[in-house]
A and B are shown apart, each in its own frame.
Chain A
Amino acid sequence: MSRKAAIVVTRIAVIVAAIAALEILCRVKLISPLTLIPPSQMVAVLWELLVSGKITDDIVQTFSTVALAFLLSVAAGFALGALIHALPRVRRALDPLLASYYAIPFFVFYPLLIALFGLNKIPLVVIGLVFATAAMVIATLNGLDRVPRVMQKTARVMRLSGARAVLAITLPSAAPYLFTGLKLALAYAFIGVIAGEFILSGGGLGFSIAYAYNNFDSQTMYALMLFVLLVVTVVNGVLHVIEQRMLARRAGR
């Protein structure tokens, strides 16, 4: 077995062992069913929920909100990052603010957003946006900083106009860093939206988890938590594979 395969097998073994241990602890009632249900039961309940169509609306609502927050944050984060990069003075002024950005507990503003926009999708998109944009700004700055000067010289020697030089040379050159920004922005958009739904909203997966919790419906609660976990894992896995391919090519592997 190659070293890489051995690492993957070990990783899967650890996860499987943890799930199996949880299953056993729940089955022998060392963990009370009021606290936690066995993983197998989570899967069964989730399957039931998915097939019955009971959570379809919640899924659509949450993912459309996350997608909107993600796309807007990437666009806004990239545009802001590029702008700040082009203005060194502004950047020097903003640097400490960006560095301490995630120290702010943004959720304290969530009630204010609801007061401003009403109990609908907008406060959720805004909280996701506020959460995710800074990550993209920081990644964009990072990426643009690391474009070698000789690349810019090359663009000029090849007589590329500003916009074409950016598209053909600057962006691909900064791509690994921008991709990190995408990954972080997606994670933050998920966190922002689902947490927002959890606090106060009229629907969505976060809302349904909170609703199940408040009604002692631990079966539904755990099934939905598992669902969110699975989706985030799959999405991150896909992004990871794409990223690894890109990096492998550049590293000559």
Chain B
Amino acid sequence: MNVASPAAPAVSDKPAHARLSGVTRVFEGKLPVHALGPLDLALARGEFFSVVGPSGCGKSTLMDLIAGLNPPTAGTIIFEDKPVVGEVPDGIGAVFQEDASFPWLTVRDNVAFGLRRAGVDAVEIKRRVDYVIGFMGLKDFTAAYPAQLSGGMRQRVCIARTLVLQPRLILLDEPFGALDQQTRLLMGDELLRLWRETGATIMLITHALDEAAMLSDRVGVMSARPGRFIETLTTGWPRTRDSNIVAEASFGAVTARLWSLLRAESLKAIGADSSGAAAPEAAAG
């Protein structure tokens, strides 16, 4: 069990929205797998932070830890000044790579799901659901079932379902991983728009370097397993950016820098995989 200690955080003294100090994660088993850490991370309130890293480096493990879906083996995680222990804290929303829309509900009912469970009154639910449905461009599909929608639209439904709960920290685990390149770019624009409008802190896990470079204020580059941050890159983009930024020279410089950092780690990851030493849980991260 990890109990948060009042010990001084290792990263900085600025108040962070979420802070990880000395966090590690080991998957127990016959052959324990050291998946992650030790790592420190401080997410500033309202920033757009992306995590890139070679496959199997523990990116998704990191997200599960911050969300409170899994406990760290060591270290502490603080969200809004409270330790994250055992359950998902109020104010955190998450969208996963897998399609998590509910196939038995219409788009509208999918989006309203969380509010209904939370006992919000019907008028308020309608107002918020209508707003989010409009915002995510789902107006013409409210009565449709997820099976009638494309993968990109279903992911919009999942994002809408999360947004409607007004999370202050949104965790995105490769939400566009299954989408084609054009759809990804457009969804990236949507993401920037919702980030600006909601003022939420966003942590995006992605394997697409251009996506990370285009969307983020900062990009954390992780090493091969056990995942640690080898560098955190500040992009310096204005808050009003969009996908047009991919045409700028400085965008190419950021992407190039990310790749030069990642190349060696990715080779290590492939080498580790081909030696057969990869553990399935960690590789799935």
Contacts and interface: CB of A to CB of B under 8 A. Distances in A.
Nearest to A249: B145
A173 B88 CA distance: 22
A150 interface: yes
B100 A252 contact: no
Interface string A68-109: 000000000000000000000000000000000000000000
B88 A157 contact: yes
A164 interface: yes
Given A250-B145, A251-B147, A252-B148, A158 B113 contact: yes
A158 B164 CA distance: 11
Contact of B92 (A149, A154, A157, A246): A157
Given A172-B104, A249-B104, A156 B145 contact: no
Interface residues of B, number: 26
Contacts of A157: 67, 69, 88, 92-94, 162
Contact of B94 (A153, A164, A250): A153
B71 to A, nearest CB: 13
Contacts of A67: none
A169 B105 CA distance: 11
Contacts of A168: 113, 117
A3 interface: no
Q: Is the interface of B mostly helix, strand, loop or mixed?
A: loop
Given A158-B113, A158-B114, A249-B104, A153 B96 contact: yes
Nearest to B94: A157
A159 interface: yes
Nearest to B165: A158
Contacts of B162: 157
A150 B100 contact: yes
B143 to A, nearest CB: 11
Contacts of A169: 102
Interface in A131-161: 148-151, 153-154, 156-160
Given A157-B93, A159-B88, A172-B104, A150 B145 contact: no
B102 to A, nearest CB: 7
A202 B103 CA distance: 49
B117 A175 contact: no
A169 B117 CA distance: 11
Given A151-B100, A172-B104, A156 B87 contact: yes
Interface string B20-35: 0000000000000000
A249 B102 CA distance: 11
B98 interface: yes
A109 B146 CA distance: 49
A175 B145 contact: no
Contacts of B103: 173, 249-250
19 contacts: A150-B96, A150-B99, A151-B102, A153-B69, A153-B94, A153-B96, A153-B100, A154-B96, A157-B92, A157-B162, A158-B114, A159-B90, A160-B117, A173-B104, A175-B104, A246-B104, A251-B147, A252-B148, A252-B149
Given A172-B105, A173-B104, 14 more contacts: A148-B98, A149-B98, A153-B69, A153-B94, A153-B96, A156-B69, A156-B88, A159-B88, A169-B102, A172-B104, A173-B102, A250-B147, A251-B147, A252-B146
Interface of B: 67, 69, 87-88, 90, 92-94, 96, 98-100, 102-105, 113-114, 117, 145-149, 162, 165
